Copies of this chain bind each other. A is one copy, B any other.
Amino acid sequence: MKDFVLKGHVCYSKSKSELITRENAYVICVGGKSKGVFSELPRQYAELPIVDYGDSLIVPGMVDLHIHAPQYAFRGMCMDLELMDWLNRYTFPEEEKYADLEYAEKAYSIFVNALKAGATTRAVIFATRHRPATELLMDMMERSGLISYVGKVNMDREATEALEEESAEMSAYTTFGWINAVKGKFHRTKPILTPRFIPCCTDELMEELKQIQMTYGIPVQSHLSESPGEINFVHFLRPNNAFYGDAYNDYDLFGKNDDINTDVKTVMAHCVWSTPEEVELMHKNGVFIAHCPASNMNLSSGIAPIRKYLDMDMNVGLGSDVAGGHSDSIFRAMTDAIQVSKMYWRHVDQSVKPITFPEAFYMATMGGGEFFGKVGSFEEGFEFDAVVLDDTTLAHPQELNVTERLERAVYLELDRNGIRAKYAAGEQIMI
């Protein structure tokens, strides 16, 4: 059933600064895509089944551009270290456990159920370096109804011995096998090439990934310019690169590249400390930025100057970055993004204006959604991802309009306990 009509108070972004709210409106889904939002039901859709959500809010599904499935187990803990120490002390030992499929099944069930219960409809996910557990996660994600990219991680140095892959060749071999096995296997779940980050990938491995990419041309995800300690380490490891992102670019793993005529999407998490040259290259290559404000606070990384990226019309979305971030709520990521941008304005640079609510909403939906295609809005032609929010638990003494109710729903994280229904690409997800 991909042809239907929902009725309610419909809220969505039209552009990065335009947030539309339509009271008692109809949003039409035909063939899994939006036909637009209407005050009166157009005659040609009069025969479609209507679900009337009454006084509820209807918003696009949230897009999480960066989340680590195996780290969900220790979300909200271990928040006392910076990135590199945090990885070594907490993250790598936890990720080792995913060699054990039984553990992976237990842990990934919890992760997938949580994502299903929230407002996220699309996610770009790091698994671990283990192929069997990654395929298990992809199976589970597929069954969840959520739409995702999932990456088997590539990493052959600077982790624990048990977590590092045996060699660049073995990493490549496993990755080839994995992509062959999963590419086209699923309806909603696709593989994404996932070099963990430069510190964990030898030049040999990066060269192998370049070859894989020449064969498959699948999207790429990684981390970039997150924390000063990490960046210094990259400079030490790759002294010939003028900036961190240049190391990915050396292996054609940094967005579109006209020289070799590739146009696969790349998303880089964080970009807190990107230099002007790095920003310029990301801009030129259409690299997506996954802004993860909670993680950047928790790991003391710093505040990414997202206002600058938005003003340059770069591709920016939000990431929960569990478990650097402690919550998988993209509602929370929106308000975190606004809050840290206010602190950046106040304490770092008063020429960089804070992020507004409509901009945060845009990043959480259309901005990140573009990584998946035409996703994240109810404008005509967008894939139909929707979340229906029941805010009746949020008592109030005064009249509120829909715009106020939407802002309140996001700030008070109604995605934790107020979701009434959820759809991805026109299919209902049973929550």
| A408 CB contact (under 8 Å) in B77, B110, B346 | B77
Closest to A94 in B: B398
Per-residue B-contact encoding for A338-373, CB less than 8 Å = 1, 0 else: 111011111110000010110000000000000000
Per-residue B-contact encoding for A87-131, CB less than 8 Å = 1, 0 else: 000000010010000010011001001000000000000000000
Residue A256 interfacial (CB < 8 Å) = no
**With A110-B396, A396-B110 as contacts: A303 and B343 at CB distance below 8 Å:** yes
Per-residue B-contact encoding for A303-317, CB less than 8 Å = 1, 0 else: 100000000000000
Closest to A400 in B: B77
Q: For the complex, what is the distance from the CA of A97 to the CA of B346, rounded to whole Å? A: 33
Residue A73 interfacial (CB < 8 Å) = yes
Q: Please report the total number of A residues contacting B with Cβ < 8 Å.
A: 52
- In the bound complex, residues from chain B placing their C-beta under 8 Å from that of A409 are 76
Closest to A354 in B: B300
Residue A19 interfacial (CB < 8 Å) = no
Q: For the complex, what is the distance from the CA of A338 to the CA of B395, rounded to whole Å? A: 30
Residue A301 interfacial (CB < 8 Å) = yes
Q: Is the CB of A327 within 8 A of B297?
A: no
Q: In the assembled complex, how far is the CB of residue A2 from the closest CB belonging to chain B, in whole angstroms? A: 32
Closest to A409 in B: B76
- In the bound complex, residues from chain B placing their C-beta under 8 Å from that of A348 are 347
Q: Is the CB of B354 within 8 A of A77?
A: no
**With A80-B356, A398-B73, A407-B79 as contacts: A302 and B346 at CB distance below 8 Å:** yes
Closest to A339 in B: B297
- In the bound complex, residues from chain B placing their C-beta under 8 Å from that of A77 are 400, 404, 407-408, 411
- In the bound complex, residues from chain B placing their C-beta under 8 Å from that of A345 are 300
- In the bound complex, residues from chain B placing their C-beta under 8 Å from that of A300 are 342-343, 345-346, 354
Q: For the complex, what is the distance from the CA of A302 to the CA of B411, rounded to whole Å? A: 19
